[in-house]
């Protein structure tokens, strides 16, 4: 089976959009930041399938950027944002993520533009879902080069204690803030727990057996490639990406 595909019927982006859409709850306020094509598709898919009353905010959409008429950062500061989709370049064993620089922070090999608001969103959103289109030893490292957001903070800092998840092309990882450990929540069909561990730079807690991720259903694929693809194009929600990445029905 090709790396990065749960089966031959979908590509990596479609897979991640479907898996993340399952985490969106009806009646909640959920959002994604700018240049977030996969989470945007996930939010629209959830609305089209199981969460018709979800309030969604998609930065980068002509129509949905200000769906609630409120600034997303102020919404988060007031504790009203219930789910935020986030990405990062590095994750480490302590639950920290890096979205700022690669290499020495004082003389970085690469400086990233995605740090704006990342600390606020990761600390004050009620739930966080991370995603990454690669799962390798450059992404999951023993220690991040720079802490854009900490997995665990001083108990005097008030924040949600909900576990967060990281969705990748081969697995779903869950970080528990109480135990300060990552658990291999599920492994995608076609991969093994040993493969996931070999591509992760720190130990993972594993059940025996590790659950297998439920693959995309026909209903999810049809909705993603039909209604969601059309809506993204019609509303200016990353229309070029939707046209080129989501397969036409």
- What does the alpha-carbon distance between residue 14 and residue 3 come to, in Å, rounded to a whole number? 14
**For residue 96, what pLDDT band results from cuts at 50, 70 and 90?**
very high
What pLDDT does residue 100 have?
Answer: 81
Q: Domain 12-245, what fold? A: Glutaconate Coenzyme A-transferase (3.40.1080)
- Each residue's pLDDT tens digit, 140-179: 999 999 988 887 767 776 666 677 999 999 999 999 988 9
Judge contact between 242 and 232, C-beta under 8 A: yes
Examine the pLDDT at 6 and tell me if it is beyond 60.
no
Examine the pLDDT at 118 and tell me if it is beyond 80.
no
Helices 12-21 and 37-49 pack at an angle, to 10 degrees, of 50
- What does the alpha-carbon distance between residue 138 and residue 98 come to, in Å, rounded to a whole number? 12
- What does the alpha-carbon distance between residue 125 and residue 81 come to, in Å, rounded to a whole number? 5
Domain spans of the chain, in order of start: 12-245
Examine the pLDDT at 1 and tell me if it is beyond 50.
no
**For residue 5, what pLDDT band results from cuts at 50, 70 and 90?**
very low
Percent of the chain clearing pLDDT 70 (strictly above): 90
- Each residue's pLDDT tens digit, 60-85: 888 887 665 457 878 888 888 899 99
Cβ neighbours of 243 (radius 10 Å): 12
**For residue 114, what pLDDT band results from cuts at 50, 70 and 90?**
low
């Amino acid at each position: 089976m090709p790396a990065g595909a749960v089966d031959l019927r979908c590509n990596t982006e479609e897979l991640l959009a479907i898996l993340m859409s399952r985490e969106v709850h009806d009646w909640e306020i959920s959002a994604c930041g700018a240049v977030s094509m996969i989470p945007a598709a996930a939010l629209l898919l959830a609305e089209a399938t199981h969460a018709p009353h979800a309030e969604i905010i998609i930065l980068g959409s002509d129509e949905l950027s200000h769906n609630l008429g409120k600034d997303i950062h102020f919404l988060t500061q007031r504790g009203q944002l219930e789910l935020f989709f986030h990405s990062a370049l590095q994750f480490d064993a302590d639950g920290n993520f890096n979205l700022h620089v690669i290499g020495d922070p004082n003389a970085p090999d690469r400086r990233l533009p995605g740090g704006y608001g990342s600390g606020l969103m990761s600390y004050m959103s009620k739930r966080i879902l991370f995603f990454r289109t690669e799962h390798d030893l450059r992404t999951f490292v023993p220690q991040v080069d720079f802490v854009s957001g900490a997995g665990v903070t001083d108990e005097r800092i008030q924040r949600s204690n909900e576990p967060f998840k990281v969705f990748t092309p081969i697995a779903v990882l869950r970080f528990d803030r109480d135990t300060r450990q990552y658990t291999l929540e599920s492994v995608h069909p076609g991969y093994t727990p040993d493969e996931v561990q070999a591509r992760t730079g720190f130990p993972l807690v594993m059940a025996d057996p590790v659950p297998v991720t439920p693959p995309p259903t026909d209903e999810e694929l049809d909705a993603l490639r039909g209604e969601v693809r059309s809506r993204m194009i019609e509303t200016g929600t990353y229309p070029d990406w939707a046209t080129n990445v989501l397969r036409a029905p």
